[in-house]
Amino acid sequence: MDGGMPEDIYRELRLLENEDPDKVFMVLAKTCAMVKALNEWVFDNSKKRIVLEPHTESSLTTTGFSLRGERSSLKLVVGKKVMVIHNLPLQGLANGVMTRLLRQSQEYLVLER
């Protein structure tokens, strides 16, 4: 499928997943704006959504570490896939793994690989 509105894209994705549940399907988007629109549509149309607000406290040592960018809330949907990324800017790498959010609490997220 090329193009279409988020609801059309996710309808097609659900059909593919139902036809072949042993396969993994993903949506590739051409722009960051399209990724944002797709993510917002999934979040807005899900019942098990959660919003995590940023915290300033950390038990990590911050020597040589600086936060850049803007703090924003994290919007997730329980049961949906998420990509957890670890950026290594000095090496020019962004490593990541696909997981599924199973549940959350005040202290942690439970993810399944």
Q: Letter for the amino acid at 16?
A: L
Instruction: Tell me the C-alpha distance between 113 and 36, whole Å.
Output: 23
Global confidence as pTM:
0.69
Residue ranges of domains in the chain: 1-45, 49-55+69-112
Contact 41, 10 (CB under 8 A): yes
Q: What is the pLDDT of residues 27-61, one digit of tens each?
A: 888 898 998 999 999 999 999 999 988 766 555 65
Largest Cα–Cα distance in the chain?
Answer: 51
Residue of 21, 19, 42, 38 lying closest to 29 (CA atoms): 38
* 19 SS3 class: helix
pLDDT band at 87 (very low <50, low <70, confident <90, very high): confident
pLDDT band at 98 (very low <50, low <70, confident <90, very high): confident
Give the strands of the sheet with 109-112, arranged side by side: 81-88, 93-104, 109-112
